[in-house]
Amino acid sequence: MNFFRSCENANHSEEKLLRYRVGQRLVHAVLATSFLMLLFSGLMVLWPPLLLWVRSVAPDISPGLIHRIGAVLFMAVPMLYLLVDRCGARQLLVESFTYDKDDIEWLKHAWRYFMGHAVGMPPQGRLNAGQKLHHAGVVIFSATVVFSGLALWFAKGYLGPAGLALAATIHGLSMLVLTVLLVGHLYFTFVYKALSAMTTGYVPKEEAMIEHPKWVEELEHQSASGKSF
């Protein structure tokens, strides 16, 4: 079935381009939900007023349980991605860690992009260099947050003071990075009005032409040759 193997984003028109396939959107939704569960329950731990408020509205709620359910979902994301869109998963991993000359140039001018200036940035492919860095960060710090979290979850009683301190520190720092990444993520979504990519799956071709000219080119080349990979 094409749906599971192909990276083809064939359905596009003059106005709109298919940016994220349904599988990718599903994975993103699971990731976002689980991450918010984890963040929320984690914040209840860090910030007692939140805990007290939650307990006053929902006395039987267990932050620990939310955190554990969230953790299971969160850890299931890579598996889910491989299951529903193996190609997309591979593409994400490969692209996030591959940077060309344009990417380096783009990063040098990232400040401009941050301030809302997409026009005139060096030409980018499916992902711009910022997104690549973001994805790479998510991959790396998800791994550290997961492993330190697993240690805190299952190795309790065996860690000892030093092990606990290390695991908790890694867990906290990883989550800090991921949270800042999330804030940035939401920021760019807002600035470049990119939410539709994750809701409908489509982006206006016009925007894509500005931000990802190489990708649009590639898509057109693909549809011209009728080839998928």
Partner 1 sequence: MGKVQLQISRRTFLKGALTGSAGAALALGALEEAAAAPSGKGATPWYYRGEIKRAYSVCDMCPWRCGVIVQSVNGRVYKIDGNPADPKSRGMLCARGQAGASFMYDPDRLRSPMIRIGERGEGKFQEVTWEEALDAMAQKLLAIKEQYGPESVAIFGHTSGEFWFTDYFAQAWGTPNASKPSSSLCTSPREEASLLTVGLPVGGHEPVDWEGVRCVTLIGSHIGEDSRNTVMQDFTRAWARGAKVIVVDPRFSSAAAKADYWLPIKPGTDTALLLAWINVLITEHRYDAEYVAEWTQGFDKLAAHVAEMTPEWAAAITELDPELIRTTARVMAEHLPQSVIVPGRHVTWYGNDTQRMRAVYIINALLGAYGREGGIYFNKSPYIEAYPHPPFAVAGSSGGCSAEPGAENGELPVGPSGKARADGARTKFLRGPTAMQELIEPMITGEPYPIKALIVYGVNLLHSIPNVPRTIEALKKLDLVVAIDVLPMEHVAWADIVLPEATIYERFEDVWTVSHKTPYIALREPAVEPYADTKPAWWMARELGLRVGLEKYFKWETVEEFVATRLQSIGYTVEKLREEGGVIVQKGKPYLSDFKGASPFKTPSGKIELYSEALALAGHDPLPVYTPVEEPPPGWFRLLYGRHPVHTFAKTQNTPLLHQLNPENELWLNAEVAASLGLKNGDRVWLENQDGARSGPIKVKATQRIRPDAVFMSHGFGHNAPGLSLANGKGASDAALITRYALDPICGGAGMRVNFVRIVKEA
Partner 2 sequence: MALYAFLLDLSRCIGCEACAAACIAGNELPAGAQYIHLIEQTHGVFPHLTGGFKNHRCYHCADAACVKVCPTGALYKEDGLTRLNRDVCIGCAYCTDACPFNVPQIVDGRSSKCDACAATTKAGGQPWCVRTCPSDALRYGERREILAEAHARVEAIRARYPKARVYGEAEAGGLGVVIVLPDAPEAFDLPANPQTPLLLDVWQKVVQPAAVGLTGLSVLVTGVAAIIARRNHMKELAELRAQQAQTEQNAGAQEGER
What minimum distance in Å lies between the beta carbon of 34 and partner 1?
26
Quick check: 22 and 28 in contact, CB under 8 A?
no
CB under 5 to 8 A by kind: which of partner 1, partner 2, none does 59 bind? partner 1
Q: Which stretch binds partner 2 (CB under 8 A): 8-16, 95-103, 126-134, 151-159?
A: 151-159
Range 168-227, binding partner 1 (CB under 8 A): none
Closer to partner 2 by Cβ: residue 162 or 224: 162
CB under 5 to 8 A by kind: which of partner 2, partner 1, none does 68 bind? none
What minimum distance in Å lies between the beta carbon of 90 and partner 2?
31
- Mark 162-191 with x for binding to partner 2 (rule: CB under 8 A) and - for no binding: xxxxx-xx--xx-xx--xx--xx-xx--xx
CB under 5 to 8 A by kind: which of partner 2, partner 1, none does 56 bind? partner 1
Shortest CA distance to 131 belongs to which of 156, 160, 167, 106?
A: 106
Sequence-ordered list of residues with C-beta below 8 angstroms from that of 32, at least 6 positions apart, any chain: none
Sequence-ordered list of residues with C-beta below 8 angstroms from that of 86, at least 6 positions apart, any chain: 4, 5
Interface with partner 1 (CB under 8 A), residue total 6
- Cα–Cα dist 149/167, whole Å: 7
- Mark 23-62 with x for binding to partner 1 (rule: CB under 8 A) and - for no binding: -----------------------------xx-xx--xx--
Quick check: 124 and 212 in contact, CB under 8 A?
yes
Question: Which two tokens mark 32?
Answer: 């976002």
Q: How many degrees, rounded to 5, is the angle at CA 152 between CA 149 and CA 154?
A: 100
DSSP state letters, 89-127: HHHHHHHHT---HHHHHHHHTHHHHHTT--TTSPP--SS
- Cα–Cα dist 143/163, whole Å: 18
Range 57-116, binding partner 1 (CB under 8 A): 59-60
Residues found near partner 1 in the complex (CB under 8 A)? 52-53, 55-56, 59-60
Q: Which residues bind partner 2 (CB under 8 A)?
A: 44-48, 51-52, 62-64, 114-119, 152, 156-157, 159-166, 168-169, 172-173, 175-176, 179-180, 183-184, 186-187, 190-192, 210
